[in-house]
């Protein structure tokens, strides 16, 4: 089965894209899936959150997109078995300009992933692309390379604000660049069960987006927010906390949806 490639996208910052990339990837890897995270945000939070030091990022998404290194040479193994990352450095921010006149500039990441898949001995089951908080050339590259878009949505009053812009972008990519692209699902993050508003927002989101919304909801959980400063996924930092358990449930739900035969074994 070819790799499922998810662009984890939402142009709003702070909605849980990186947290979802790290912890969903870890939970999938724990299910014996071979997983790769591509850090496509110049902030490099996914790289830092997985404990990849700056000096281990000589070959990063920047060099890969600019064609300055082989994609396979950029991969760093994380402490989580089955989980590798293509790290990012701050200079990825310059890629937008540096690629402005480049040939096939929207398809750079797709070409790199094709090259990577052809070069690797062990095929990936899941590739999760952690997008920057903008509908920029980087995010377009992710959507062109992806099979699906996974949208983290913060369970707050303005949750749906900006969604139409995101959907328009996905539609434009589908029409012009990647007809195969679909929306895999929407995951509600930072749900606060003590706050009545959270329930109301979750209901609203479900009534608008229907079964695209995962049953699993990620609660607001302080352990989840502490984990990155230790360079660890929450699932390793505190396996038992409510946030980790929710990401384990999300991975199980995703495996049921995408690999029904295997999950039933
Ligand atoms: P994005 O990548 O969309 O900008 P992040 O994943 O970096 O968002 O999350 C934004 C902030 O919220 C981070 O400080 C992160 O640790 C925190 N956070 C994310 N998910 C949770 C959660 N479930 N509970 C508590 N804090 C969270
Ligand atoms: Mg992020």
The distance of Cα 190 from the centroid of its chain, to the nearest Å, equals 16
Q: Two tokens at 73?
A: 């040479």
CA-226 nearest atom, ligand 1: 16
Q: What is the pLDDT of residues 188-199, one digit of tens each?
A: 999 998 888 999
Q: Are 31 and 22 in contact (CB under 8 A)?
A: no
Q: Is 178 in the pocket of ligand 1 (CB under 6 A)?
A: no
Instruction: Tell me, in angstroms, the distance from the centre of ligand 2 to residue 265's CA.
Output: 34
Q: In a structure prediction context, what are the per-residue pLDDT tens digits for the chain, which is 265 residues long?
A: 789 999 999 999 999 999 999 999 999 999 999 999 999 999 999 999 999 999 999 999 999 999 999 999 999 999 999 999 999 999 999 999 999 898 899 999 999 999 999 999 999 999 999 999 999 999 999 999 999 999 999 999 888 888 999 999 999 999 999 999 999 999 999 999 888 899 999 999 999 999 999 999 999 999 999 999 999 999 999 999 999 999 999 999 999 988 765 544 4
State the DSSP string of 93-139: GGHHHHTTT-TTGGGHHHHHHHHHHHH-SS--SEEEEE--SSSSHHH
Burial letters 103-129, b for 16+ CB under 10 A, else e: eebbbbbbbbbeebbeebeeebbbbbb
What letter would DSSP give residue 12?
A: S
Q: Is 106 in the pocket of ligand 1 (CB under 6 A)?
A: no
Q: Is 60 in the pocket of ligand 1 (CB under 6 A)?
A: no
**pTM of the entire predicted model:** 0.97
Residues with CB under 5 A from ligand 2 (ion): 17-18, 45
In 3D space, the residue among 193, 199, 166, 186 whose CA is nearest the CA of residue 250 turns out to be 186
Instruction: Tell me, in angstroms, the distance from the centre of ligand 2 to residue 150's CA.
Output: 13
Q: CA 236, 151, 95, 59: dihedral to nearest 10 degrees?
A: 30
CA-130 nearest atom, ligand 1: 2
Residues 6 or more apart whose Cβ sits within 8 Å of residue 177: 106, 107, 140, 143, 144
**Cα–Cα dist 60/41, whole Å:** 11
């Amino acid at each position: 089965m070819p790799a499922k490639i998810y662009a984890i996208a939402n142009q709003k910052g702070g909605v849980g894209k990186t947290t979802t990339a790290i912890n969903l990837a870890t939970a999938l890897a724990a299910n014996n899936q071979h997983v790769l995270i591509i850090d496509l945000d110049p902030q490099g939070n996914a790289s830092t959150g997985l404990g990849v030091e700056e000096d281990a990022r000589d070959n990063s998404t920047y060099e890969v997109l600019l064609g300055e290194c082989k994609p396979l040479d950029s991969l760093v193994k994380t402490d989580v078995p089955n989980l590798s990352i293509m790290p990012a450095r701050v200079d990825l921010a310059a890629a937008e300009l540096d690629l402005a006149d480049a040939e096939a500039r929207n398809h750079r990441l797709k070409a790199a992933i094709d090259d990577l898949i052809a070069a690797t001995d062990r095929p990936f089951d899941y590739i999760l692309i952690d997008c920057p908080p903008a509908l920029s050339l980087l995010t377009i590259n992710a959507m062109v390379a992806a099979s699906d878009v996974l949208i983290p949505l913060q369970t707050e009053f303005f949750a749906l604000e900006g969604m139409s812009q995101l959907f328009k972008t996905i539609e434009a990519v589908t029409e012009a660049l990647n007809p195969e692209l679909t929306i895999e699902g929407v995951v509600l993050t930072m749900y606060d069960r003590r706050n009545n508003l959270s329930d109301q927002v979750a209901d609203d989101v479900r009534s608008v987006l229907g079964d695209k919304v995962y049953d699993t909801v990620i609660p607001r959980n302080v352990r989840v927010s502490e984990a990155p400063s230790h360079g660890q996924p929450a699932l390793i930092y505190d396996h038992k906390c409510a946030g980790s358990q929710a990401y384990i449930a999300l991975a199980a739900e995703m495996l049921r949806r995408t690999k029904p035969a295997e999950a039933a074994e």
